[in-house]
Structure 1
């Protein structure tokens, strides 16, 4: 099971450039806005979702978007999306609420989760995500993140979340 330290070791072993910033626990986007001056790049919102058939989805998008789950059902090719509960989050991604990020996919050994990444992230040199714990933020190039996920999990699917906001 990956944790922050094993993630950092993996990034180092792959010679992936990153910056890690330690901070107080952050549970919401609103909590994280206090760090905007010290952490550059795109900041994220990450939703771990499931449908009525227990298909799982991780959707990562730009923090200022307010997603409409009904509208987002179409590109995810699913119906009746809801937030996956804390047990699923821990058992599948190995993380607690407030720590959801694409890095959790490294713990999805059965590859149950389909990952959707907002294409708007590609307009930034740096994107920011929690490294499996909400007391740190990893700043990384979006292409490096995508390559890491595709190497260790599955193909990343791109989505334009601005099309599916409230």
Structure 2
């Protein structure tokens, strides 16, 4: 696995979803580093990639309310635990659960294992509210998938907040999730 700047020179065999991410980042003048790798679907599988990227790959959770009428993409540090009660009160939603994969595909055009903030470029009707744990915004860079789980990109959090999100017509709601309890 090798870390390279910018888009791949050879696009043969790459999905349209992935190419669309690189096209948008280029159009917005956002610099990034990229790495191709075997398919990863869990945070454990992303650990080695974190080290090579020298960035934390965010845990991205696709959530919904009980009625399945409100959808959320939560970005949080990969090592933080997630408990719905810690988030529900901050976003005024009584009960949260993981949304079905069909909604993820419908709104973000992403399959489970590849979910990332980049999928918001496909949510043209703003059906998904972005939630970012404050700790993520305090770093310099993040790692995420370019809508496929066979590549990862390292990108500036400043570029995400100031260039990417305005371009895809989304705003982030900053939330604060507690650290794991220490024994």
| TM-score category (smaller protein) | over 0.9
Is the contact between residue 102 and residue 149 of structure 1 (CA under 8 Å) also seen in structure 2? no
Shift of 1:13: 1.4
Could you list the runs of 4 or more consecutive aligned residues of structure 1 that deviate by over 6 angstroms after TM superposition? none
Is the contact between residue 32 and residue 154 of structure 2 (CA under 8 Å) also seen in structure 1? yes
Is the contact between residue 41 and residue 124 of structure 1 (CA under 8 Å) also seen in structure 2? no
Change (3 A) 1:103 1:36: closer
Name the residue aligned to 1:29. 43
Unaligned runs of 5+ in 1: none
Measure the CA separation in 2 of the matches of 1:36 and 1:105: 22
Shift of 1:34: 2.2
Q: Which moves more between the two structures, 40-49 or 154-163?
A: 154-163
Name the residue aligned to 2:10. none
Query: For 1:9, which of 2, 23, 31 is the aligned residue?
Result: 23
Is the contact between residue 75 and residue 136 of structure 2 (CA under 8 Å) also seen in structure 1? no
Name the residue aligned to 1:155. 171
TM-score of the two chains, using structure 1 as the length reference: 0.92
Shift of 1:118: 1.5
Measure the CA separation in 2 of the matches of 1:118 and 1:20: 24
Is the contact between residue 101 and residue 130 of structure 1 (CA under 8 Å) also seen in structure 2? yes
TM-score of the two chains, using structure 2 as the length reference: 0.84
Query: For 1:41, which of 55, 58, 74 is the aligned residue?
Result: 55
Paired positions, count: 164
Name the residue aligned to 1:18. 32
Shift of 1:40: 0.7
Unaligned runs of 5+ in 2: 1-15
Aligned to 1:114, the other structure's residue is in SS state: strand
Shift of 1:150: 2.6
Is the contact between residue 48 and residue 84 of structure 1 (CA under 8 Å) also seen in structure 2? yes
- 1:63 maps to 2:68: no
Higher relative contact order (CA 8 A, sep 6+): 1
Shift of 1:43: 2.1
Q: Which of structures 1 and 2 has the bigger CA Rg?
A: 2
Pairwise CA RMSD: 1.5
Shift of 1:71: 2.1
Measure the CA separation in 2 of the matches of 1:49 and 1:36: 24
- 1:51 maps to 2:57: no
